[in-house]
Amino acid sequence: MRFVDEFRDPQMAEALLQRIRPLVDKKVQQLGRPLQLMEVCGGHTHAIFRYGLEQLLPDMVELVHGPGCPVCVLPMGRVDDCVAIAEQPDVIFTTFGDAMRVPGSKKSLLQAKAQGADIRMVYSPLDALQLAKKHPEKEVVFFGLGFETTMPSTALTILQAEKEGIDNFSLFCNHITIIPTIKAVLDSPDLHLDGFLGPGHVSMIIGTRPYEFVAQQYQRPMVIAGFEPIDVLQSVWMIMQQLDEGRCEVENQYGRIVPPEGNRQALQAVSQVFELREFFEWRGLGSIDHSGVRMREEYRQWDAEQKFSLPNLKIADPKSCQCGEVLKGVIKPWECKVFGRACTPETPMGALMVSSEGACSAYFTYGKVNQADHIPSEQLA
């Protein structure tokens, strides 16, 4: 990619839309219903809202927002575990900024920080490791969070801690895996999806082959998509071509970044440090088998779950918060009863309003929201 403008060209966008429209009309006439395409990644959700792509696409194409935001799927009980660790004496708790304001059952990490806990925002796990070297009298804990995209940097940091013999550093591991998530969505009885915009960042690590089950077992087309508006529109066009031709394949629109085999060195580091959990609890999706990772036995001395006694409780979201339904694509963000009213970026009730990849945050920031009372304009009509 030489210039980003190439991927934001209005003329190219219109050319793609002219190819998409007749394919949509033809398929809708055959099926007798609208088409539903899920963008798995929260980064795609924000791109779609930011550039108004949902309004540009034909009305009979519904873009369903998927669960590909790791902060959004973090259950409330794990946030409580973070707070419990952070409030221990002589602990420096480090985290990415997105996780600071995710509500727990009693408080968020930001609120715990305001009450005196030593909680610091970092940009990488290596920043946390440097803090451990600088403060040998403290236990520095890094909140490991994210799909396979962020796993390699966390794994390499653990290997660096081992190499340097830094024993006052540990990881609270909440890394999750994308493939069981997609399978859980496909098995959901509430959805009938016609195709997928596959996640670009995760695929940069794992490649394209792990998604082949989507096409082979579930007979759904998937296109790994980039994050610029032309990327998204071209990916929709590629899905529509598959549907028109009766094909179900995994195609790679984001080939400039995503190799079919993924990043072998990154995958090797992940495999060395982590192993699959038997199950992991997800907000909105419940317990999903083999959907999270934990540290292997040989790295237990850097495992915060072994160093600290944690509440480890399963806590339900507030009944008024419908993050789970939004995560599964059952409802749109503005259909949630508290969206824009009790739940705003300033007063979030759920993680989807906090995260930079959350669907509610995207719709609130870029959607048609009445600024007087924060009620979506669709509900005012």
pLDDT digits 0-9 by tens, 32-70: 999 999 999 989 998 998 899 999 999 999 999 888 788
pLDDT digits 0-9 by tens, 238-255: 999 999 999 999 999 999
Distances (CA, A) of 236 to 19, 40, 187, 244, 328: 10, 13, 22, 12, 20
Q: What does the domain layout of the chain look like in residue ranges?
A: 4-69+213-251, 76-178+261-307, 323-365
Q: Is the CB of residue 197 less than 8 Å from the CB of residue 228?
A: no
pLDDT recorded at residue 371: 38
Closest to 45 measured CA to CA, from 360, 376, 277, 336: 360
Q: Is the CB of residue 232 less than 8 Å from the CB of residue 53?
A: yes
Cα gap 357→376, rounded to integer Å: 19
**Full-model pTM:** 0.87
pLDDT recorded at residue 4: 81
Q: Which residue has the higher pLDDT, 336 or 218?
A: 218
Per DSSP, the residues of 35-49 read EEEEEEEHHHHHHHH
Q: Is the CB of residue 330 less than 8 Å from the CB of residue 185?
A: no
pLDDT digits 0-9 by tens, 156-169: 999 999 999 999 99
CATH superfamily of 76-178+261-307: HypD, alpha/beta domain 2 (3.40.50.11740)
pLDDT recorded at residue 368: 53
Closest to 362 measured CA to CA, from 68, 148, 44, 127: 44
| Residue 117, amino acid | A
pLDDT digits 0-9 by tens, 1-19: 567 888 999 999 999 999 9
pLDDT band (50, 70, 90) for residue 377 = very low
Check pLDDT > 60 for residue 335.
yes
> What is the token pair recorded at 282?
């997800």
Q: Is the CB of residue 362 less than 8 Å from the CB of residue 46?
A: yes
Helix, strand or coil, per DSSP, at residue 361: helix
The average confidence (pLDDT) of the chain is 90
CATH level 2 (architecture), domain 4-69+213-251: 3-Layer(aba) Sandwich (3.40)
Closest to 199 measured CA to CA, from 372, 68, 337: 68
Check pLDDT > 80 for residue 114.
yes
| Residue listed under structure tokens 């909680």 | 119
Fold: same for 4-69+213-251 and 76-178+261-307: yes
